Structure 1
């Protein structure tokens, strides 16, 4: 059996969870039944200031079009706590591959709850934070409770074989979107086959690109598999977060630094990591699946990439996720991992303006062609007027057709 450990793609949850994603050594501990969390998290307070991703994405603009209702997003992670007021009624009974008889609705480290909240946290009076797709159903699949405290990694996690089982379980329970904010740094055949199963079943698969840019960008899976949307992280100023990995496996980027997430039970934390960039993309995929149910998973994937805002080369993939464009613009024709070099920020050119410029350029080109043809005709007529009399005097005539 494979013993490749599964780790959350996490750079931080508040001040206590700061994963460096170092490789674990030794056997994975055997999972045992646990009625509760050994070390409950400290209470957290609700946020009062609007998080910066909401200024960028303005979810209230999307709400009249779609909130993801009818779509199921599987969160394969550390579990999801349904007791948080903003997640109440949104979390289905899932499964627990760490402890027997669990249903995925227990989160001892807060990672999965935070990821799920970026997707599905419902608006509440007096709370600035909200999810991007608050109408979706969250299907929790618990595979890890790993964290780093005071620079030391601890906590249980499943191996690659059980991670593959988790993916298949979610797909076979009719998940429409998979959010995989966990990373393996080895290509495991069972995981590869499970992802292929998900894609064959028309599931959108979104995965974190990993946080080891400072350690040489080891190839992350499942993000590196074909058909999977690999997601890197940006900061509030639009630049790539310094921990966010770079490589051909990055398809696009989304907020992943100093983002706000729900804490288990109540309140909120600030967090960072590609773990938290991935759910922005998963939520947008859910919005699309709700708004345009006729689109296949592959078409949703292409559309998310093709409508990304332009960004420089160097770890941004095709650009920065733009949920509004993804929902409202026409679908793209293909997934292209080419990296357009352009500026990043909020002063981007409106797509309608770009289309108008293209039409004007085409009209200008046509005008040049017509003018060129006109000049040629006039010149030919003038030459004929000069040569015809001389040809007549010399008994010149056009050559007969062969």
Structure 2
């Protein structure tokens, strides 16, 4: 059962289209200029302004597997391609279409609005929206894995991944998940990685569930749990892991996921809590890397993110925050170093073994006359010596028998 867990949106502008189950209106509205100031801490936490000196993500398409996008909001106008409906894993139960996806799309590729508006981490990237129909969010935490039905070979997430790859996406962002692996999804992930596509997914919001509190670890969330996928946890303003963020070994890195300003359908703004927001932000950083280095393979993108993360745990890694909070500018620099180190050194034709003198041609195989003569002479001498010894011994034996 696909879902987004216990993510929350808090609206700052009352909109009729917003579900009150996910957003609660507050008295003080925020305008476009205000939201830019409100999001400053998020951009600085990821060192995005420094990264923008190198690239802003032009030429990269990020596939967003979510509940759809309102492509008419100012921050996303002209930047979104809407793909086909990928279907539902839980027929008949749908969430508010476009609310979650619009927020995530703007965090990835929002281009602002005049002098204000929300900026995504890769403001010049494009979005390929691949709509899914999700199960309802669950207010009381998580559903135990044993209650989930994940045995079917087909999967809307797998279809979305394949469609993204076939339509030129370089990064796939998945702020969603379910407990337990699915064969179709795992195979789709493998195909995407083989084509050089970077996959980013939410680790989940099960850090405060009864199971997590009792066992000091959270259930694994998929697709974040598949090998090769960048699993993302949520951190707060101080870079500490958010209490609700799932903790297990699928968490590779973290990003802001508490009080993150987002765009809502219709053009309003709100605040978001959850690993969903953190995932979208990391997908934006991956888009910056792919924009600068289009041919960089996914595993080097992961290494660039993990090896440059800030606020690294004392032991270098822990299962709540991963290798630390992503640093976009540092990751860009490391990606170039890793790609250069992995590149084969070009060698001019005819100089593949250096510029020194060529070795002499070895002797052709076959008999050598001198050695063959010596061998024959030695063999003949041995035979003569053996024959002579036999003759002498025979004569002595014969003389000893005479009377």
TM-score (norm 1): 0.68
Is 1:143 the counterpart of 2:132? The answer is yes
For 1:162, the equivalent position in structure 2 comes to 156
- Equivalent pair of 1:50/1:128 in contact (CA under 8 Å): no
User: In 2 relative to 1, CA 265–128 (structure 1 residues): closer, same or farther, beyond 3 Å?
Assistant: closer
3-state SS, counterpart of residue 271 of structure 2: strand
Matched, 1:213 2:200: no
Unaligned runs of 5+ residues in structure 1 are 17-38, 100-105, 335-402
Matched, 1:11 2:43: no
Distance (whole Å) between structure 1 residues aligned to residue 138 and residue 230 of structure 2: 30
CA displacement at 1:186 relative to structure 2: 1.0
Mapped to 2, the partners of 1:147 and 1:46 lie a distance apart of: 30
Report the secondary structure of 2:286's partner residue.
helix
**Match 2:173 to one of 153, 169, 179:** 179
How far the C-alpha of 1:111 sits from its partner, in A, is: 0.4
Q: Tell me the equivalent position of 2:383.
A: none
Alpha-carbon distance in structure 1 between the residues aligned to 2:135 and 2:116:
29
Q: Compute the TM-score of the two structures, normalised by the length of structure 2.
A: 0.68
> Aligned pair count?
298
Partner of 1:119: 108
SS in 1 for 2:58: coil
**Alignment of 1:189 onto 2:183:** yes
Distance 1:213 1:332 in 2: 35
- Separation in 2 of the partners of 1:316 and 1:151? 23
Asked if the contact 2:308/2:327 (under 8 Å) is kept, the reply is yes
Name which of 72, 75, 82 aligns with 2:64. 75
RMSD: 2.8
- The residue aligned with 1:397 is none
Quick check: 2:5–2:206 contact (8 Å CA) kept in 1? no
Q: Is the 8 A contact 2:59 2:291 kept in 1?
A: yes
Q: Which has the larger radius of gyration?
A: 2
Shift of 1:45: 5.1
- Three-state SS of the structure 2 residue aligned to 1:112 is helix
| Cα distance between partner residues in 2 of 1:10 and 1:133 | 26
Q: Which secondary structure does the structure 2 equivalent of 1:182 belong to? A: coil
C-alpha distance in structure 2 between counterparts of 1:131 and 1:120, whole Å: 4
Question: 2:232 corresponds to which residue?
Answer: 231
168-177 or 295-304, which deviates more: 295-304
